[in-house]
Structure 1
Amino acid sequence: MTSQTDVRLDGSAELRTEREATPGSAGDRRERRRPPEAGFDSYYGRPVLNEPTWQEHDIAGYLFLGGLAGASSTLAAVAELTGRPSLARVGRVAALCALGGSFYSLIHDLGRPERFINMLRVFKVTSPMSVGTWILTAYGPQAVCAGAADLSGRLPGLGRVATVGAGLAGPAVATYTAALICDTAVPAWHEGFREMPFLFAGSAASAAGGLGMLAAPLSEAGPARRVAMLGAAVECVAATRMERRLGPLAEPLKRSRLLRAGEALSLAGALAGITVGRRSRIAAVAAGAALLAGSACTRFGIFRAGMESANDPKYTVQWQRRKLS
């Protein structure tokens, strides 16, 4: 039993004014404070990740043009099989031009054309870059053949076969870039891997549908209007689900004016195309232009938001702690 008195130097006893816990006692352990949580900053506020060396006009343009090419080929194949020659021609020529632009952007970012050829020496299933290279290699010649046959008027049978072949490969071309950016360490891209392919597919479909509405006659633009409406709906739903699931990590996405503009333009263009665009040529052109602009804004917005999340150490450290806990 612990005594409540203390002995002074003069030998007299005195009652302790308060009880003192001995080192190692339960009271000392109860009073010991836990260390504070560390902040989200890195040393001197510098980024935790090395910022990707990709240039915005190259890679964001590549994402947009590649999606437009793949979805346009699929729309051209549908038009070819349903007897809509004008819409099929729009899709084939659009795929040819967009493919050329996307290849230019990719080669310009790589620096040397032979680097693309070097990637064909192996096929690695676990590498989105390797898989994407082979997808483009299988798709490109068919899209070029279909577009060249249409523009030259020669070998129409071969052109039809190439149109269908490019149309089958089109969805992979339109969506593999989502896997490509999600395979990086950029937080907003890497953690959006579930919804990003659907977002890219919807954005590509709305762009191809918009171009079909813009260039094809009203009598043949029915599939383009429906594809644009479906694509805009899928794009907006995927973006909303991704932002909700990512929580605080989605702040760069929510702050992006380009993404908000892309969603607004895509929905407005799709609604205008499916309603007044069915009867008015001017309305169809305006709706198609809005859809193309909306898809471009979405791709550039995704790119900028990813770069913002890579530059701010908060999004790297905070998300890793959340997953560990």
Structure 2
Amino acid sequence: MVPEARFTSYYGLPVLNKPVWKPLDIAGYLFLGGLAGGSSLLAAGAHATGRRELARTAKAGALGAVSLSLAALVHDLGRPARFLNMLRVAKPTSPMSMGSWLLLGYGPLAGAAAAAEVTGRFRRLGALATAGAAVLGPAVATYTAVLVCDTAVPSWHEGYRQMPFLFAGSGAAAAAGLGLVFAPAEPARRAAVLGAAAELGVTRLMKRRMGPAAEPLEQGKAGRLMRASEALTAAGAGLAALPGTVRSRALSATAGAALIAGSAALRFGVFHAGVASAQDPRYTVVPQRERLENREFPAARRG
């Protein structure tokens, strides 16, 4: 009998080099970008409808999140000069280059919106900054998905169709969770339910369509984080959906904290799944063989 195939590589080394990014820095960077972008959208809605407390919370959250995300990125790079070097060129085909310029434009807008809201001065300028941050917010929340999917890492690359939508839903849920913790209001409650529903639904869809590359999302450390994310997000959404959540400070804070923790666990789970998939040659070899077979025998595969 032919022995079962074992997916190995020369000298026992992986086919791909695993990502060298620091987990706390880059997974935190992925999470904070989603929180910042979602908070700017929520802030614009609250500002337009006169909900001052929610607007103040969301604007401050957006500024804090983008500031921490930049700090995490610079810490991973090692020196601030390396971030500045990325601004020497603008390369549309590079997610890292476009992301650097995006953060450079978004950060001052988020800062001006928060400063005007807190100080009560330059309100017209603050309103323009709030609108500008909201326009860039969706890109800030989702470009990190493009960044990780534009690699050869199997569990990132194979999810490129759904990952931006997953990060968008997760960012919306985290921003709404922040609002529920510090400024409970109906817009935050509705955004929490919708964002959590999108996050949970797209996670299932992505796993189903990724094929074997979805296995690292369900195994080991990444699997535990993904299961914790689903449980926390579902619990937070369930509490947020209750009619009396906004009136109960304790209930809204519990729901918001669960949503924020669920969003963070998702990003860390996705990060660790990518690292695990790069270390196992099977997740690189099998999809390549399937793509070759589909090109060579398309009719047979359809049949």
Q: TM-score, normalised by structure 1?
A: 0.86
> CA RMSD, aligned part only?
1.6
Counterpart of 1:286, as a letter, is T
1:154 equivalent among 80, 97, 121: 121
Residue 107 (structure 2) aligns with: 140
State the one-letter code of the partner of 1:302. Answer: V
Deviation at 1:43, TM superposition (A): 2.6
> Following TM superposition, by how much is the alpha carbon of 1:317 offset from its aligned partner in structure 2, in angstroms?
1.1
1:298 counterpart residue number: 266
Matched, 1:309 2:273: no
Q: 1:112 aligns with which of 70, 76, 79?
A: 79
In structure 2, C-alpha distance between the alignment counterparts of 1:177 and 1:98, rounded to whole Å: 14
**Corresponding residue of 1:29:** none
Q: 1:53 and 1:305 mapped to 2: Cα distance?
A: 14
Partner of 2:300: none
What does residue range 190-201 of structure 1 map to in structure 2 within 5 Å?
Answer: 190-201=157-168
Q: Is the 8 A contact 2:67 2:107 kept in 1?
A: no
Q: 2:95 is matched with which residue: 112, 115, 128?
A: 128
Q: Which ranges of 4 or more aligned residues in structure 1 deviate by more than 4 Å?
A: 35-38
Asked if 1:45 corresponds to 2:9, the answer is no
TM-score, structure 2 length as denominator?
0.92
Whether 1:318 and 2:286 are equivalent positions in the alignment is yes
Q: 1:1-40 residue pairs with structure 2 within 5 A? A: 39-40=6-7
Shift of 1:121: 2.0
Matched AA of 2:32: L
Match of 1:223 in 2: 187
Runs of 5+ unmatched residues, structure 1: 1-32
**Residue deviations 1:196-237 (CA, integer Å, cap 9, x gap):** 001100110000000001100x4xx11111111111111111
The aligned length equals 289
Deviations 1:98-128 (A, max 9, x none): 1110010000111111222222222211111
Letter aligned with residue 98 of structure 1:
A
User: What is the distance in 1 between the residues matched to 2:261 and 2:55?
Assistant: 22
| TM-aligned CA deviation for residue 38 of structure 1 | 5.2
State the partner residue of 2:254.
286
Q: Secondary structure at the match of 2:245?
A: helix
Between 184-193 and 313-322, the greater mean CA deviation after superposition: 313-322
**Residues 1:249 and 2:213 aligned together:** yes
Shift of 1:314: 1.2
Q: Does 1:80 align with 2:47?
A: yes
Q: 1:189 aligns with which of 142, 150, 156?
A: 156
Deviation at 1:45?
3.3
Matching residue of 2:199: 235
- Shift in Å at residue 152 of structure 1? 2.7
How big is the shift at 1:44?
Answer: 4.2
The question of 1:172 aligning with 2:139 is answered yes
One-letter amino acid of the counterpart of residue 231, structure 2:
A
Q: 1:270 aligns with which of 226, 230, 237?
A: 237
Question: Alignment identity in percent?
Answer: 61
1:257, distance to aligned residue in structure 2 (A): 0.9
Shift of 1:153: 2.8
Secondary structure of 1:278's partner?
coil
| Residues 180, 246 of structure 2: 8 Å contact kept | no
Kindly state the Cα deviation for residue 250 of structure 1 after the two structures are TM-superposed: 0.8
Q: For residues 77-113 of structure 1, give each alpha carbon's deviation from its aligned partner in whole angstroms, at most 9, with x where no partner exists.
A: 0100111111000000001111110010000111111
**Cα contact 2:91–2:98 (8 A) shared by 1:** yes
2:89 and 2:245 map into 1 onto residues whose CA distance is: 47
Q: Which amino acid in structure 2 is aligned with residue 190 of structure 1? A: H
Q: Answer with 1 or 2: which has the greater Rg.
A: 1
The structure carrying a bigger helix percent of its residues is 2
Q: Deviations over 1:120-158 (max 9, x none)?
A: 222211111111111111111100111122223322221
Given that 1:209 and 1:224 are in contact with CA atoms closer than 8 Å, whether structure 2 keeps it comes out as: yes
> Which residue is 2:56 aligned to?
89
- Is the 8 Å Cα contact of residues 243 and 254 (structure 1) preserved in structure 2? no
